[in-house]
């Protein structure tokens, strides 16, 4: 088991070492945690282009040293021409995951960076934008080594599809292929400001390329979009208060599962009883998620009502200690995402996630800018009577769900993971640290499981990593869980977890980055 790195005042964590290096550089130059996170997100757009980018969406959690928590929703709405009739008339039975018709929502990530920097400046941040984007520009020009999942797709290849990478973003280092158009786009944003992405020269180029490709996203959709500052959801646990973004993020599921587990009389150990309780808590959390999480203006009930103590007590009481319940949750849209964490010397803490949706996004590289557009519209349905129907201006369901915790003893923790099963990874790592007492490195490295919904050909299954304790797996099987081994390697590792915790007495920051992804934790 790896040692947990501990730093004197501040640290960053990311699933790619050069992304972490960018954040470290900003902190060392006097930047705050939000500024470091923006710089890291920009570098990740170049280093991990099949997972994140300027054409992605994002969600942020930020906690001020005084205790106030903020959530930023940088998810984009469906374009003006994105109607069910449009897709039905084209012969679609379900929304495509690739091509111009998959590029159906506004990309919100860059607007989220702009909103985050407004918050950074309110906390005294003064780092110029050109410095924050300098690493990303240098990397896009190909002047630094990088470990990308695949070389960046050639700029100017209209509608090109990025090949999927089975090895994940932690593959062996190689020389990054230059992307001159992306470098120019980043340079223009550094010069003109991030608002230029939607309402300036960059925005005009994006809109023109999307129109030529046949995307339903129009220029007015880009110009009218702004990321939103929203109130985070929270749940009070015995040891801490846990925060997550509200819908359309699935963060509610993370909080529900943690809250239900917290109210169960189960000893916090690596036992079958503990894992059974957590698995069953997740089943109940997902059942609520699937009824509630949708476009924020369409949510049928206040999400926080499900986090009240009496509701959590009822959910916990409904779980049978000796028998696994059926898992009937439909499979969510599968995608990749990238988590970034930062805590600075003042205690400002950031947990954020960005994603293109499925690996490679829509596959559409916009030739004038080198931007790979996302396919987060995969969270919609073409069933007009269903729960998440496609409609212009509506936001899709999002798997992106960063987490942040404030402990009663003064510790502050940021954590997250990549992949569609973020709540499962987060709750397992959080429970191992906060409940069992594992170090950050242990909590992240210990073998995990993933509760996988039934598909058209396979029943629901509890997938375990190859290194998972076989005796524990047998005990879970006896309780009625259908256990199946998922194999080895990054593609089977159920998300790349990350973790930072700041201690109040001496200001030290401990952290861990998942060895499954080859990331890094760096600090001052």
Closest CA to 516 of 172, 170, 174: 170
> If DSSP states are collapsed to H, E and C, what string results for 258-269?
HHHHHCCCCCCC
- Name beta bridge partners: 158: 365
Helix or strand (DSSP H, E) at 243: strand 240-244
pLDDT at 491: 42
Q: Confirm if 462 and 452 have CB atoms less than 8 A apart.
A: yes
What backbone torsions phi and psi does residue 168 show, to the nearest 5 degrees?
80, 180
Please name the helix (run of DSSP H) or strand (run of DSSP E) that holds residue 174, with its range, or none. strand 174-175
Distance from C-alpha of 370 to C-alpha of 155, rounded to nearest angstrom: 5
**462 backbone dihedrals φ, ψ, rounded to 5°:** -95, 100
Q: What is the pLDDT of residues 317-341, one digit of tens each?
A: 999 999 999 998 887 777 899 999 9
Task: In whole angstroms, give the CA distance from residue 421 to residue 495.
Answer: 7
d(CA 288, CA 252): 9
Answer yes or no: are the C-beta atoms of 366 and 373 closer than 8 Å: yes
Burial (CB count within 10 angstroms: exposed 0-12, middle 13-18, buried 19+), residue 121: middle
* Predicted pLDDT at 143: 56
Q: What is the dihedral of CA 168, 174, 179, 184, to 10 degrees?
A: 100
The 3-state secondary structure of 317-342, one letter per residue? HCCCCCCCCCCCCCCCCCCEEEEEEE
Can you read off the two tokens belonging to residue 57? 């969406």
Alpha-carbon separation of residue 317 from 29, 284, 468 (angstroms): 51, 11, 28
Radius of gyration over alpha carbons of the chain, in Å?
A: 21
Burial of 457 (0-12, 13-18, 19+ CB in 10 A): exposed
Which pLDDT score, from 0 to 100, does residue 493 have?
Answer: 46
**The predicted structure's pLDDT at residue 437:** 95
| Residue 112 in tokens | 């989220």
Tens-place pLDDT, residues 223-276: 999 999 999 999 999 999 999 999 999 999 999 999 999 999 898 889 999 999
pLDDT value for 148? 37
Q: Which tokens hold the place of 93? A: 């039975």
pLDDT at position 200? 98
Is the Cβ–Cβ distance between 256 and 307 less than 8 Å? yes
Q: Which pLDDT does position 459 carry in this prediction?
A: 87
List CB contacts of 460: < 8 A, sequence separation 6 or more: 326, 327, 328, 451, 452, 453, 454, 482
Q: How far apart are CA 506 and CA 327, in angstroms?
A: 45
Q: Which two tokens stand for residue 120?
A: 């950074």
| Low-confidence residues of the chain: pLDDT under 50 | 144-176, 489-493
**Cβ proximity of 49 and 65 under 8 Å:** no
Closest CA to 113 of 22, 219, 42, 16: 42
Residue 215 is predicted with a pLDDT of 98
Instruction: Give me the domains of the chain, ranges plus CATH numbers.
Output: 1-77+108-161+230-358+395-524 (3.60.20.40)
pLDDT at 178: 53
Q: With CA atoms as reference, report the closest residue to 448 among 500, 516, 499.
A: 516
């Amino acid at each position: 088991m790896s040692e947990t790195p501990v730093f004197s005042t501040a640290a960053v964590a990311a699933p790619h070492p050069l992304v972490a290096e960018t954040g470290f550089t900003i902190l060392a130059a006097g930047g705050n945690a939000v500024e470091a996170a923006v710089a890291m997100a920009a570098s990740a757009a170049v280093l991990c282009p099949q997972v994140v980018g300027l054409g992605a969406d994002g969600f942020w959690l930020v906690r001020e040293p005084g205790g106030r928590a903020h959530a930023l929703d940088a998810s984009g709405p469906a374009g003006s021409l994105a109607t069910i009739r449009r897709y039905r008339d084209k012969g679609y039975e379900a929304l495509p995951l690739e091509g111009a018709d998959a590029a159906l929502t506004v990309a919100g990530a860059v607007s989220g960076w702009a909103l985050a920097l407004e918050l950074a400046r309110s906390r005294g941040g003064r780092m110029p934008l050109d410095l924050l984007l300098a690493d990303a520009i240098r990397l896009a020009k190909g002047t630094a080594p990088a470990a990308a999942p695949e070389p960046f797709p050639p700029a100017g290849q209209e509608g090109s599809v990025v090949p999927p990478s089975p090895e994940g973003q932690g593959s062996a280092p190689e020389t990054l292929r230059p992307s001159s158009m992306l470098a120019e786009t980043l340079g223009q944003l550094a010069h003109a400001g991030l608002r230029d992405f939607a309402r300036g020269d960059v925005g005009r180029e994006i809109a023109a390329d999307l129109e030529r490709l046949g995307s339903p996203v129009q220029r007015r959709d880009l110009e009218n979009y702004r990321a939103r500052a929203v109130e985070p959801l929270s749940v009070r646990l015995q040891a801490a208060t846990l925060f997550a973004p509200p819908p359309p993020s699935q963060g509610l599921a993370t909080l529900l599962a943690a809250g239900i587990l917290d109210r169960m009389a189960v000893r916090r150990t690596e036992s079958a009883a503990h894992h059974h309780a957590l698995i069953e808590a997740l089943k109940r959390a997902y059942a609520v998620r699937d009824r509630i999480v949708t476009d924020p203006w369409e949510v049928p009930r206040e999400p926080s009502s499900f986090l009240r103590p009496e509701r959590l007590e009822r959910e916990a009481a409904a779980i049978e200690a000796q028998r696994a319940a059926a898992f009937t949750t439909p499979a969510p849209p599968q995608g990749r995402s990238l988590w970034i964490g930062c805590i600075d010397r003042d205690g400002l803490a950031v947990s954020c996630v960005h994603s293109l949706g499925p690996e490679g996004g829509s596959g559409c590289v916009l030739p004038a800018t080198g931007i790979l557009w996302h396919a987060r519209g995969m969270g919609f349905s073409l069933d007009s009577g269903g729960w998440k129907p496609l409609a212009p201006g509506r936001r899709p369901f999002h798997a992106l769900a960063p987490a942040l915790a404030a402990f009663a003893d003064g510790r502050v923790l940021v954590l997250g993971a990549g992949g569609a099963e973020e709540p499962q990874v987060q709750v397992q790592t959080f429970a191992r640290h906060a409940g069992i007492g594992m170090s950050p490195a242990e909590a992240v490295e210990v073998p995990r499981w993933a509760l996988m919904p039934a598909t058209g050909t396979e029943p629901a299954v509890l997938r375990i990593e190859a290194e998972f304790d076989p005796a524990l797996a047998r005990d879970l099987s006896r309780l009625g869980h259908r256990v199946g081994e998922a194999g080895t390697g990054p593609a089977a590792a159920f998300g790349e977890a990350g973790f930072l915790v700041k201690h109040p007495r001496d200001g030290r920051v401990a952290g861990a980055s998942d060895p499954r992804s080859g990331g890094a934790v760096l600090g001052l």
